[in-house]
């Protein structure tokens, strides 16, 4: 009986998070209210508040759900624990970044982008939302393992960077952030500049991988 109850509670939470996801696709995530979510679920207000007592906990659940997509943390660890050559590991890590970002574009990226921008402007909301998240954020974790690979293999002499390693990592992280921002604006909002139409995240991340290899002396 307790197991059935636990499964029931889990399913109810998923139902509410799915409803929140649908609302966030239609309107700016930072403008979504608990009333919007209650209306979307068709449940009573008390029924929703039983599982999520405020909008911040709903946002946190959405972020956690996004970071669970595709089990990317496990994929990153599998690459790092493999016997592949460092250059192959690097290639596979960039491939994970590309596949995760592509998945996010058709699902959560609009929501994450809007919440991220809102939280930068409202640090108190950032603390409240991220204080309730439970899943490891994929991109920061991926960047950390990527840095680990580059640092250890540069020290071992496999990579021979033509600029200091911290500069390589700054370039990679800033480039990833730029790709995420510009492709999201292009694909999720239809915002284009005259010289950047129909941005392709796969081509951009592949170009970043090739550029990183060059910076690492390969």
Residue 64: which pLDDT band, with cuts at 50, 70 and 90? very high
Residue 4: which pLDDT band, with cuts at 50, 70 and 90? low
Q: How far apart are CA 108 and CA 161, in angstroms?
A: 35
Q: How many CB atoms lie under 10 A from the CB of residue 24?
A: 24
Task: Note the pLDDT of residue 93.
Answer: 97
100-114 pLDDT, tens digit each? 998 888 889 999 999
In degrees rounded to 5, what are phi and psi of residue 196? -140, 80
156-185 pLDDT, tens digit each? 999 999 999 999 999 999 999 999 999 998
What's the distance, CA 7 to chain centroid? 27
Query: Is residue 2 scored above 90 in pLDDT?
Result: no
Residue positions counted in the chain: 218
Whether 59 is in a domain gets the answer no
Q: How many CB atoms lie under 10 A from the CB of residue 14?
A: 13
Same domain, 33 and 89: no
Same domain, 9 and 106: no
Whether 61 is in a domain gets the answer no
Alpha helices in the chain (DSSP H): 2-26, 34-41, 45-49, 55-68, 72-81, 86-105, 109-121, 123-130, 138-155, 165-189, 201-215
* Domain span holding position 125: 66-215
Whether 136 is in a domain gets the answer yes
Tokens of 192: 């284009």
- The mean pLDDT of 144-160, rounded to a whole number, is 97
- Give me the number of domains the chain comprises: 2
Q: How far apart are CA 153 and CA 164, in angstroms?
A: 13
Whether 60 is in a domain gets the answer no
Same domain, 181 and 124: yes
Could you tell me if 184 and 113 are in contact, meaning their C-beta atoms sit under 8 angstroms apart?
Answer: yes
Whether 205 is in a domain gets the answer yes
């Amino acid at each position: 009986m307790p197991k059935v109850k636990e499964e029931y509670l889990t399913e109810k939470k998923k139902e509410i998070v799915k409803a929140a996801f649908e609302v966030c696709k239609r309107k700016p995530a930072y403008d979504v209210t608990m009333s919007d979510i209650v209306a979307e679920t068709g449940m009573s207000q008390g029924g929703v508040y039983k599982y999520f007592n405020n909008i911040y906990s709903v946002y946190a659940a959405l972020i956690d759900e996004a970071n669970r997509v595709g089990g990317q943390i496990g994929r990153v660890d599998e690459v790092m624990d493999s016997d592949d050559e460092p250059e192959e590991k690097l290639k596979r890590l960039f491939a994970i970044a590309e596949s995760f970002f592509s998945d996010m574009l058709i699902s959560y990226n609009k929501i994450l982008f809007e919440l991220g921008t809102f939280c930068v402007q409202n640090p108190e909301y950032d603390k409240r939302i991220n204080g309730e998240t439970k899943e490891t954020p994929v991109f920061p974790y991926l960047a950390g393992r990527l840095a680990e690979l580059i640092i250890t293999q540069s020290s071992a002499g496999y990579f021979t960077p033509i600029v200091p390693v911290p500069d390589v990592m700054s370039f990679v992280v800033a480039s990833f952030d730029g790709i995420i921002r510009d492709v999201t604006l292009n694909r999720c909002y239809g915002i284009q500049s005259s010289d950047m139409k129909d941005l392709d995240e796969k081509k951009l991340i592949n170009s970043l991988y090739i550029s990183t290899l060059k910076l690492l002396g390969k």
